[in-house]
Amino acid sequence: MIYMPFLDGIRALAVIMVFIFHLNPKWLPGGFIGVDIFFVISGFLITQIIWKGLSNNTYSYGQFLWSRCKRLIPAYAFVIIATSLTGAYILLPNELIAFNKSIIYSIPFLTNLLFFIKSGYFEGSSEYFPLLHTWSLAVEWQFYLFFPFALLLLYKIKKEDIVRNLILFTIISAVISIIVTPIDPSMAFYLSPFRAAEFLIGGLVSFLVLKPINVKPWKINFLVSASFLGLLGFTIGLSKNSLFPGYYAIIVAFLSGTLIFGLYKQQQGLIKSLFSAEPIVFIGKISYSFYLWHWPIILYSKLYFESIHNIPVYVFITATTIICALLSYFFIENQFRRVKASFKIVVPMLLTYSFILAVPIYLFSSTNGLSSRLTEQDRTVLNTPGWRDFPGKCEFTQQKNKFYGCTLGDPIAQPHTLLWGDSHAQVLVWEYNKLAKTKNKSILSFTKGGCPPIFGGIPVNSPIEKQVCFDLQQKIFELLNSPNKITDIVIVAKWDGYTTKQLQQTPIMGNTHDDFTSLLISSIKYIQDLGYHVHLIDSIPYPGWEVPETIVRTRLLNKEETNTFEDVIPNIVFDLKANLDINLIGLSTYFPKDYLCDDGICSIMKDGAPLYFDSNHLSSDGVKAIEPILLSTLKNKKVAYE
């Protein structure tokens, strides 16, 4: 196959996009599309390789897989071993156990399945998995396993219709991805059937470039420029809050395909010269090793330095990634590419690969994540209670497709207070239950993590099933519009988690607002118009990093302990009070930062106990710190609505 330098140039573009995005998403919020560009390039090259073999009657599935093994496995295994050795120093026992599981899934290239399973709201942040980035390699490997069979079958049936059939399969895969993405974004993101269209678009381009097409040079130049600028536009226009993959990924794949086609057909041009320049091409050549190394280095730097957002750490991460990529490219990738396939070589290599990765698996499993490093105090901190069985009498158990409806406090008393919110409201139920009992009061609690307490809008990109959020909003709406003894509504949420998110409108109240703040204002006004008093608890300040783990890690690494963080969370109350539609007499507002912070500097511990059990949720000690707020909300303001 003829070497095309510009393809390595496009690889360089893709890996730089991903690297910048992971280094600081604010710099390139849509840089994650670099992975989708990689998918299209893989589809293009693999289809060319297979088609050439089929056309020449020299195709061998075994030889093809061996070439992929040589390309992927050696550097892949080496990075996992290096990540394991570093992880034994930096990662905590619970993190090593989770990491261990990802190693097990990495051996058969199934980490995309693992991270899909781990993508639930209460599974913890997947961003703290050192092998998170290998999900895309797993998707590629699955494509390598199954696509050759599909192409061979289409070739045997009727090779003249192979392009037509590929177009059909591409359309079907694209439509399925577009349909599934709004329903379950995690499934569409991680699982290969919903990414197939991106590879197939690359495959179609590999057939298209072989056809003699008479196109004027200016049209090719325009196509190249438009595709390139379009991809750059998506790196700026998209973000983690975008509904992805869906139609966005299909458009990115289409632009990537047209860029490859245009550069293939273009005789000369500025963009082709850029992508064919030796420094850019070299980055493309080392892009696989660079991609393998970049995420573990970024993550471990984040865990060690606690923050990577300063120039010296950026330089350290970039330099370390480049050095590691160069070493593995020259001394691992290039060395194994020269190895010819034979049974005597392939089997021992695969056995060695499995054995090498089995070593850290056994070590971390047999030692419970090297737990002997911890003191009793460390274990106590790490075991800070988080999510547990809800108190009171609950209508629903903790299920993914259910919200939580509980009666807290005195089971005999008539409830006059309703608690409505997301997971930041859920962490309050244990303290509310205790306080309500002492005052012989009862509270209705309706909560669900990831579901904003508003009428008329649901985040389009959320690990929570959107139907659950709609059901919760509908439940509150119906309850407030029916005869009851409720007088006060307490609304709590992680407000900054919704203000920038794209919302899907729901028919409740017939809202037509697009932005979250407008929906919240209209929801509060609607509740007030029904005669209820609204208690709005403003944003709870949070550090954004795992508090118990950070406390213990600083001790293990003999570093200076971090006991505070700066509150940078915007206060939504100020936006609401500036709105003239809000009845300020019927609105009580509370600021948790008044109890957790001092002049914008907030504590993460009190009397040796963490105030947070993860990166943003208050622990039981943290909730006790804002107990005066909870007590104030129990002082009912209004007469019952009849």
Distance CA 503, CA 242 (A): 10
Q: DSSP character for 456?
A: S
CA angle 177–246–515, rounded 5-degree value: 140
Q: Residue 223: CB partners within 8 Å, gap ≥ 6?
A: 258, 261, 262
Helix (H) or strand (E) holding 322: helix 311-328
CB-neighbour burial class of residue 392 (10 A; exposed 0-12, middle 13-18, buried 19+): buried
CA angle 338–343–346, rounded 5-degree value: 55
Q: What is the pLDDT of residues 555-573, one digit of tens each?
A: 999 888 878 998 888 777 6
- pTM of structure: 0.88
- Return the higher-pLDDT residue of 580 and 578: 578
125: confidence class by pLDDT, cuts 50, 70, 90? low
CB-based contact 260:10 (threshold 8 Å):
yes
Q: Which fold has domain 389-542+570-597+625-634?
A: Rossmann fold (3.40.50)
Residue 87 has pLDDT above 80, yes or no: yes
| Amino acid 642: pLDDT | 36
Residue 121 has pLDDT above 50, yes or no: no
Q: What is the pLDDT of residues 392-433, one digit of tens each?
A: 888 765 666 788 899 999 988 999 999 999 999 999 999 999
Q: Residue 2: CB partners within 8 Å, gap ≥ 6?
A: none
Using only C-alpha atoms, the chain has a radius of gyration, in whole angstroms, of 28
Where do the structural domains in the chain lie, given as residue ranges?
5-373, 389-542+570-597+625-634
Least confident span in 21-30, 424-433, 464-473 = 464-473
Least confident span in 33-42, 361-370, 486-495 = 361-370
Spell out where 399-461 has E strands: 404-409, 417-421, 442-447, 457-459
Share of the chain above pLDDT 90, in %: 59
